[in-house]
Structure 1
Amino acid sequence: MRGLDANRTLVLVDGHRFVPTSNVGTVDLSLIPTFLVERAEVVTGGASAAWGSDAVAGVVNIILDHKLTGLRGEAQAGISEEGDGYNMKVALGGGTSFADGAGHIILGAEYSYDEGVGDNYTRDWGREEWWFVTNPNFATNGQPARIWTKNVHYASQTPGGLIATGPLRGTAFAPDGTPFQFNFGEVWGDDQIGGDGYGIGSWTGVNIRQPHERV
């Protein structure tokens, strides 16, 4: 909230601090079964006065449904139109009173699985390699300082290695170690437009959606 780091937003459950789940004190909300949540309250501005520096950005208070009676269930599954990204989720929650209403117990559990989605090159728009290149001569050539264009990839590395400077500049190595002459495209800093090196860019190997399994 307010553009501040997550560790400046305090997460509470029923008004109590939740156990941090990272080394910077943030909380993973996926640890709270959604079937047990009744509502969420958000407080900003002045929250730090009551809760300290953890709440400079504000406070999120997750209120559980303490009156949940009976069972609630959910099952869902999906897949992307590209045939990947399979995901599924099953959840069950329930509650009951005991001792003539003097007490109430609630339980909830969820299981979800997501195989994730690969990097940009798994998509048509990603295979066009759109990216920004820095224009060092923007003050004189009449073009923007940052140019958004396609067919952009690294001019400084290849999977097998590339000599980028010196008298052997442009000597690249195939996966089996065989040297070959690298074809530099239009070089803009560490990037180039065109030439060899297709598939080696800023988002290579960075998944569009991370795989996960959660219980």
Structure 2
Amino acid sequence: MDPDIQRIPISKLIKNIESIADLGIRAILLFGIPSYKDDNATSAFDDKGIVQQSIDIIHKHFGDSIAIITDVCLCQYSSHGHCGIIKNQKVDNDSSIATLKKVAVSHAGAGADFVAPSAMMDGQVKAIRDGLDDAGFSDTGIIGYSAKQASPLYAPFRDVAHSTPEFGDRRSYQMPTSNAREAIREIEFDINEGVDIIMIKPAIPYLDLIYQAKTRTTLPICAYS
């Protein structure tokens, strides 16, 4: 594991966020490493899960001074390492978005200000928006990983999260790097489904997508490198 990439235990969470807050940073994005994994990623929507506990601790200590964004994906919670539910050795989109909705509602219930679905499943933003609204969390925002390219730059994260797929890869649901038109179409889908902020990841190699997205919407654009 890269020594510059760290996993922060709950016992050191407050100290680390205090150092971030001292720099003037007022928002954090949480990723969880669960204590157990299974085929259906049930630890991702466990009300006593690592992310849910962390949200509660942060809110109790910092109040509204730190905005909490949570990653909503299944890869680090599933035994197979894919971002969705697997059926017959393939990612099942409908089962996946149903589970992602559970995860998002669980995070909102713990107090997340924004949820950020990164699984790149078709219709995930609409499913999550509907789920949040139905559960009474209409004020919880969605930051969509609207254009998430299939990139080798994610390797360090997969290493630290132990989330490398056991079989195949994620190119069947992440964006092809050579097709900007498809990325723009996915951004437009997310806008129509109710996303509040658009994310482009990785950002530095795709500044053209940021520019093109900016000409098509007035929504905020998040650049993740």
Under TM normalisation by the shorter chain, which class is it?
under 0.3
Task: Answer 1 or 2: higher relative contact order, Cα 8 Å, separation at least 6.
Answer: 2
TM-score by length of 1: 0.20
Q: Which has the larger radius of gyration?
A: 1
TM-score by length of 2: 0.19
**Which structure dedicates a bigger proportion of its chain to strand?**
1
**Which structure dedicates a bigger proportion of its chain to helix?**
2
